[in-house]
Amino acid sequence: ARDLPKESSTVIIIGAGMSGIMAAKTLSDHGINDFLILEATDKIGGRMVSTDFSGYTVEIGANWVEGVGGKHVNPIWELAKRYNLRMSKSNFDNISSNVYNEEGRLLPLSETKPHFDIADACQSYLDVLSNSLNAHDEEDISLTTGQRLFGLIPTSPLDMAIDYSYYDFEIAEPPRVTSLKNVLPNPTFVEYGDDEYFVCDKRGYSYIPKQLAKDFLKHENEIIIDPRLQLQKVVRHIEYSANGVRIETEDNSTFYSKYAILSVSLGVLKSRLITYQPDLPYWKIKTFYQFDMSIYTKIFLKFPYTFWLTGPGTEFFLYTDDSRGYYTYWQHLENEYPGSNIIFVTVTDDESRRIEQQSDEETKGEIMQVLRKLFGKDIPEPENILVPRWWKNRLHGGSYTNWPIGVSEADFDRMKAPVGPLYFTGEHTSSNFNGYVHGAYLAGIATAETLVDCIKYKKCKEITSNDLPWMNPNTTQVTNKTEQTCNGVCCKAIQQERESLRSFYIDTIDSLQHALTNKCKPS
Ligand SMILES: Cc1cc2nc3c(=O)[nH]c(=O)nc-3n(C[C@H](O)[C@H](O)[C@H](O)COP(=O)(O)OP(=O)(O)OC[C@H]3O[C@@H](n4cnc5c(N)ncnc54)[C@H](O)[C@@H]3O)c2cc1C
């Protein structure tokens, strides 16, 4: 970046989701008020987003305050109470009584319980095994490997549906790709407790970040009028150097700052929505690509009347299919919105990708086939269907992160490590609570505090490719060595070789893609 013009800010924050808002609030709390928030959409909240669905507010993104009732208080729980958010406690305990088999028969508890008991025992074993692997600094394994060590191989439709409800329903990816050491026992439930509260408030879950923003941004009644929040600004290019940052948006505006905090999702960081000059270093990009952005899709259906079971203990039910994860996990909204006649089914990962690529009519057809099996041929057609597309949405590129096998904590530290004046935040930078609203909240504070240390106290933590091989994985502390060797070759040279190899292939793929687009353009 060239010399900064006079109107530049100290910090530009990209993204106004929970982490971006908390980063800005933290800067403001520390007396740094010349910041600018650039948000691509027309609202605050990011992946905390609700919509009106046939007269009812449904959350397309985050829905639960997860982790309540434990030894520590979840900060999101405190905020939800402070703002008096309407919530309903989810009771997952009874799900073993609500399992329908492939033919649509409701299975008696005597048939399902032994299978749930085994899954429970296996999960306890996995928790203990993970603690032991961590304590002895042993190699990571997948959840599936752990299950096999226990002797559980879920292959029947019933066992696969139970397995799906224990793992995929929470982490949105299958156990076979998921890191045992970093995912179990789930720190959210260990720290904050096992209870989960389903937000069902007309104002939406995003009322929390919106209220937090009003703590430090000028507003009139409910409307934020502060010029430091700029909506509908899609960042497309970032130029950076020791002198500062230059940011271009898609409407051809340019903004300058001394530092920037990127709070965009990992899905966006993996994509090429934002380009960088110079390109981000190889070690940084590699970490983005190594980590997983999962997909979690809630498909809502509104019917003229209910034909599913309602009343205590019926909120959640499972459908078992030969194909793992095929419309497995269902929830009705009669507790939250009595008389709404709304039900939703959650799909994840490859099923989400498949469904995103077909029409809503096709999805409705598939869902109706399943529901007819369960509740009979005479059930009515839905009046409305809502199929979110998180994967295809270029501002998200998925739903939230999951920790795959093969990524160490040292790798993970690189995710949040700054690159020159560019700082990184978001749920994906929270090592304990990645994937959650509270993770985003805490990450926003932590990243901004690191930057405050740099701005106010000149304690800046910068990592360059030269520093990497000698980086202490636990502290991300950097030493001054520059001429060490890795297997006899200068490490700096290896990094440079990887960077130029990558830029060569990026140029090649860019020109190939350009040719493809031109060819496909209608004449
Ligand atoms: C379907 C779904 C269900 C979930 N369920 C739960 C749940 O029940 N409980 C829970 O705790 N968590 C849940 N989560 C996770 C939770 O929503 C996220 O962890 C959290 O909201 C992420 O906040 P963030 O600030 O890190 O990112 P985001 O909320 O994604 O904020 C990033 C912001 O950057 C903006 N942006 C992107 N690209 C650009 C660009 N180029 N220029 C400018 N701005 C840009 C985006 O519009 C967005 O507003 C769920 C998420 C999804 C998607």
CATH code, domain carrying 35: 3.50.50.60
Longest dimension (CA), the chain: 75
As a whole number of angstroms, the distance between CA 271 and CA 34 comes to 29
> pLDDT tier at 482 (50, 70, 90 boundaries)?
very low
CA quadruple 354, 398, 41, 18: dihedral positive or negative? positive
Q: Is residue 67 included in any domain, yes or no? A: no
Q: Is residue 416 included in any domain, yes or no? A: yes
Q: How far is CA 479 from CA 79, 422, 461, 464, 486, in A?
A: 41, 20, 11, 11, 16
Per-residue model confidence as pLDDT tens digits over 368-382? 999 999 999 999 999
Look at residue 499 in the predicted model and tell me its pLDDT: 79
pLDDT at 321 over 60: yes
Look at residue 65 in the predicted model and tell me its pLDDT: 98
User: Hunting for tokens 């209910």 — which residue is that?
Assistant: 306
Q: Is residue 58 included in any domain, yes or no? A: no
0.90 exceeded by the pTM? yes
Per-residue model confidence as pLDDT tens digits over 324-346? 999 999 999 999 999 999 999 99
Q: Which of 51, 299, 437, 442 to mutate to test the pocket of ligand 1 (most atoms within 8 A of CB)?
A: 437
pLDDT at 222 over 50: yes
Beta carbon of 61 within 6 Å of any ligand 1 atom: yes
Contact assessment for residue 111 and residue 155, using Cβ atoms and an 8 Å cutoff:
no
Look at residue 521 in the predicted model and tell me its pLDDT: 52
User: Is the domain of 95 the same as that of 146?
Assistant: yes
Q: Is residue 469 included in any domain, yes or no? A: no
Look at residue 410 in the predicted model and tell me its pLDDT: 86
User: Is the domain of 378 the same as that of 425?
Assistant: no
Encoded amino acid at 402, one letter:
N
Contact assessment for residue 427 and residue 396, using Cβ atoms and an 8 Å cutoff:
no
Q: Which H/E stretch holds residue 60?
A: none
Instruction: Confirm or deny that 235 is annotated as ligand binding.
Output: yes
Give nearest CA residue, ligand 1 atom 14. Answer: 62
Per-residue model confidence as pLDDT tens digits over 132-166? 999 999 999 999 999 999 999 999 999 999 999 99
The mean pLDDT of 388-416, rounded to a whole number, is 95
pLDDT at 186 over 50: yes
Q: Which of 36, 47, 64 to mutate to test the pocket of ligand 1 (most atoms within 8 A of CB)?
A: 47
Q: Which of 342, 363, 386 is the last residue of a domain?
A: 386
Beta carbon of 333 within 6 Å of any ligand 1 atom: no
Helix spans in 136-225 (H): 143-150, 157-163, 169-171, 180-183, 187-192, 207-214
pLDDT at 515 over 90: no
Residues in the chain: 523
User: Is the domain of 414 the same as that of 506?
Assistant: no
User: Is the domain of 381 the same as that of 351?
Assistant: yes
As a whole number of angstroms, the distance between CA 512 and CA 414 comes to 31
Q: Which of 345, 363, 386 is the last residue of a domain?
A: 386
Contact assessment for residue 356 and residue 391, using Cβ atoms and an 8 Å cutoff:
yes
Beta carbon of 445 within 6 Å of any ligand 1 atom: no
What residues have CB less than 8 Å from 139, skipping those under 6 apart? 133
Per-residue model confidence as pLDDT tens digits over 33-63? 999 999 999 999 999 999 999 999 999 999 9
Q: How far is CA 128 from CA 14, 121, 350, in A?
A: 40, 11, 30
Give nearest CA residue, ligand 1 atom 29. Answer: 46
Look at residue 331 in the predicted model and tell me its pLDDT: 98
Q: Is residue 73 included in any domain, yes or no? A: no
Q: Which H/E stretch holds residue 485?
A: strand 485-486
The CA 153 to ligand 1 mean position distance, Å, reads 34
Q: Is residue 75 included in any domain, yes or no? A: no
As a whole number of angstroms, the distance between CA 321 and CA 319 comes to 6
Atom of ligand 1 nearest to the CA of 21: 25
Look at residue 402 in the predicted model and tell me its pLDDT: 98
pLDDT at 464 over 80: no
Beta carbon of 416 within 6 Å of any ligand 1 atom: no
Report DSSP state, residue 164.
I
As a whole number of angstroms, the distance between CA 193 and CA 356 comes to 34
> pLDDT tier at 490 (50, 70, 90 boundaries)?
low
CATH code, domain carrying 357: 3.90.660.10
Look at residue 274 in the predicted model and tell me its pLDDT: 98
Catalytic annotation present for 66 = yes
Atom of ligand 1 nearest to the CA of 249: 42
Beta carbon of 197 within 6 Å of any ligand 1 atom: no
Look at residue 85 in the predicted model and tell me its pLDDT: 98
| Cross-strand partners of 178 | 404
As a whole number of angstroms, the distance between CA 13 and CA 5 comes to 18
Beta carbon of 296 within 6 Å of any ligand 1 atom: yes
Catalytic residue among 59, 66, 173, 336: 66
User: Is the domain of 193 the same as that of 304?
Assistant: yes
Contact assessment for residue 16 and residue 229, using Cβ atoms and an 8 Å cutoff:
yes
The CA 17 to ligand 1 mean position distance, Å, reads 6
User: Is the domain of 185 the same as that of 320?
Assistant: yes
What residues have CB less than 8 Å from 473, skipping those under 6 apart? 408, 409, 410, 413
Q: Which H/E stretch holds residue 134?
A: helix 109-135
Give nearest CA residue, ligand 1 atom 48. Answer: 46
Beta carbon of 264 within 6 Å of any ligand 1 atom: yes
Q: Which of 339, 359, 386 is the last residue of a domain?
A: 386
User: Is the domain of 90 the same as that of 193?
Assistant: yes
ipTM over 0.85: yes
Q: Compute φ and ψ for 446, nearest 5 degrees.
A: -65, -45
Instruction: Confirm or deny that 465 is annotated as ligand binding.
Output: no
Beta carbon of 40 within 6 Å of any ligand 1 atom: yes
Look at residue 523 in the predicted model and tell me its pLDDT: 45
Q: Report the Cα–Cα distance between both ends of the chain, in Å, rounded.
A: 39
User: Is the domain of 242 the same as that of 132?
Assistant: no
Contact assessment for residue 358 and residue 276, using Cβ atoms and an 8 Å cutoff:
no
Q: Is residue 147 included in any domain, yes or no? A: yes
Structure tokens that stand for 375 in this block: 């509740």
Give nearest CA residue, ligand 1 atom 26. Answer: 426
Give nearest CA residue, ligand 1 atom 4. Answer: 62
Beta carbon of 77 within 6 Å of any ligand 1 atom: no
Measuring CA to CA, which residue among 410, 417, 414, 441 is closest to residue 427?
441
The mean pLDDT of 436-460, rounded to a whole number, is 95
The mean pLDDT of 468-484, rounded to a whole number, is 41
User: Is the domain of 406 the same as that of 422?
Assistant: yes
Residue-number span of the structural domain to which 499 is assigned? 485-520
Instruction: Confirm or deny that 39 is annotated as ligand binding.
Output: yes
Mapping DSSP to helix (H, G, I), strand (E, B) and coil, where does residue 253 land? coil
The mean pLDDT of 189-205, rounded to a whole number, is 98
User: Is the domain of 168 the same as that of 232?
Assistant: no
Measuring CA to CA, which residue among 421, 475, 22 is closest to residue 241?
421
Instruction: Confirm or deny that 206 is annotated as ligand binding.
Output: no
Tell me how many domains the chain contains.
3
Structure tokens that stand for 206 in this block: 């995003």
Atom of ligand 1 nearest to the CA of 63: 8
Q: Is residue 430 included in any domain, yes or no? A: yes
| Cis status of the peptide bond prior to 338, with omega within 30 of 0 | no
Contact assessment for residue 277 and residue 248, using Cβ atoms and an 8 Å cutoff:
no
The mean pLDDT of 347-375, rounded to a whole number, is 98
Contact assessment for residue 343 and residue 332, using Cβ atoms and an 8 Å cutoff:
yes
The CA 499 to ligand 1 mean position distance, Å, reads 30
Beta carbon of 67 within 6 Å of any ligand 1 atom: no
Half-sphere exposure of 100 (CA within 13 A, CB side): 23
Give nearest CA residue, ligand 1 atom 12. Answer: 436
User: Is the domain of 192 the same as that of 302?
Assistant: yes
The CA 399 to ligand 1 mean position distance, Å, reads 7
Look at residue 487 in the predicted model and tell me its pLDDT: 56
User: Is the domain of 277 the same as that of 301?
Assistant: no
Least confident of 4-18, 71-85, 393-407, 507-521: 507-521
Per-residue model confidence as pLDDT tens digits over 238-292? 999 999 999 999 999 999 999 999 999 999 999 999 999 999 999 999 999 999 9
